[in-house]
Structure 1
Amino acid sequence: MRKLSKKSRITAAVAGVALVAVGGGAAYAYWTTTGSGSGSATNSTGGGTVTLHATFAGGLAPGNEVAVAYTADNSSTTGTVVGALSANVTTNVAGCLPAWFEVTAVTSNSPVAAGATGTSVGSGVLKFNDSAANQDACKSAIVTVNVTSS
C-alpha cells in the first residue's frame, strides 16, 4: 500500500471532518415500541319527548265531523320518530258525554327533527255522533282531543 503525502492526509482529514459534520446533521434516532388503547362515552338517553297537538275546526253539531291535524314539537337536540298515535275526547261540561264523540288518528312513523315545531305527524277525523238522547249539554262546550304516541 502506498503512503499518503502530507497534503493528501490533510485533505482526507478535512473530508472526514466534513463528512461527520454533514452526516451528523442528517442523523436521527428513534425508539420503536408497541401500544394499544381505547376510548368510551355514554350515548344520549334517547330522542327526548315531543309535544303533540291536535288541531280542528270548531262549531261541531250532532251528526257532523271535522278533519283533525296532528303535529309535533321537538325541543330536544336529537331528532326522533313519532310512532302510532292514540286519541280520545274530553269535554268541559259533565253532561256533554265524551262517548258521543269518535276520533281517529292515522300516522306512520313520522320523523321529527331536533328543534322542530309544527311537524305534521298524522291526521284523523272527529265525529260528533247524533244520539237519541238530548245533547243540549254540548252546546258551547269545549271539546278537547287528547293525543299520545307510542
Structure 2
Amino acid sequence: MRKLDRRGKVILSVAAAAAVIVNAGAAWAYWSLGGAGTGVAVAGTAVELKLQGRSDESKPLYPGATADLAVTVTNQNDFPVKITSISPGNGKVTADADHRDSGCVETGVVLTADVLPVAWQVPKNTIGVFTVPGGLRMTNSSDSACQGATFTIPVKASGLSSAS
C-alpha cells in the first residue's frame, strides 16, 4: 500500500470535507422540505330531522293528568344524530279525528316543561321512537270532548351529529 504525501493528504481532506458538506445539505433539505397546494373536499348537506309527538295511546289524558310523550324521529342523514332536548314546536296540538269531530278543539295539552332534556341516539338513515316519561300534561282548560283522545303534538329537537 502506498503512503500519501502531503499533497494527497490535502486532496483527501478536501474530498472528505466536500462529502460532509454535501451530506449535511441533503439532510437539511430532507428535514426542512415543506409544501403547499390545494385540496378539494365536498361537504354533504344535512337533512332536517322529522319529528312527530304523540300522546300515549294506552294512558288517556284527562284534565290535570300527565302522560308520556312518544316522539318519532326520522333521521335521513348519512350520519348519526344525538338529540339532547325536546321543546314545543310550531303548530297546534290536535286530537284524533273522532274527538275533533265530537268538538275537541281546545285540547289543553302541553309539554310539562319548556325544554325536556333527553339523550337519544338516532343512527343514520333510520326512524327511532322514544318516550319522555311524564312529558305531557292536560290543563283544566281543555274541552270535555277531548277526554280519551290521542293527541298529535308538534315538537322540535336540539342536538348534534354524533359521527366520529
Q: What TM-score do you get using the length of structure 2 for normalisation?
A: 0.53
Could you tell me how far 1:48 is from its partner in structure 2? 0.9
Identity percentage over the alignment?
A: 10
Cα 1:93–1:9 change in 2 (3 A) is closer
Cα 1:129–1:101 change in 2 (3 A) is farther
Task: Render the CA deviation track for 1:111-144: whole Å, top value 9, x for unaligned.
Answer: 55341642428311276728xxxxxxx9xxx732
Task: Render the CA deviation track for 1:55-81: whole Å, top value 9, x for unaligned.
Answer: 1525x8xxx644332132334233455
Which position in structure 2 is the counterpart of 1:78? 81
Matching residue's letter, 2:94: N
Matching residue's letter, 1:78: V
The answer on whether the counterparts of 1:89 and 1:101 sit within 8 Å (CA) in structure 2 is no
Task: Render the CA deviation track for 1:61-113: whole Å, top value 9, x for unaligned.
Answer: xxx6443321323342334553315422235379x713387441124234553
Could you tell me how far 1:20 is from its partner in structure 2? 1.6
Could you tell me how far 1:40 is from its partner in structure 2? 6.3
Q: Distance in 1 between matches of 2:24 and 2:108?
A: 84
Which position in structure 1 is the counterpart of 2:23? 25
2:137 maps to 1:124: yes
Q: Which runs of 4+ in 1 moved over 4 A?
A: 29-43
Which position in structure 2 is the counterpart of 1:144? 150
CA-atom RMSD in angstroms:
4.2
Could you tell me how far 1:12 is from its partner in structure 2? 1.0
Which position in structure 1 is the counterpart of 2:162? none
Q: 2:59 pairs with 43, 57, 60, which one?
A: 57
The answer on whether the counterparts of 2:55 and 2:70 sit within 8 Å (CA) in structure 1 is yes
Q: Distance in 1 between matches of 2:13 and 2:151?
A: 97
DSSP 3-state at the match of 2:104: helix
Structure 1 unaligned segments of length 5 or more: list them.
1-5, 131-137
Greater Rg over alpha carbons, structure:
1
Q: What TM-score do you get using the length of structure 1 for normalisation?
A: 0.56
Could you tell me how far 1:49 is from its partner in structure 2? 1.0
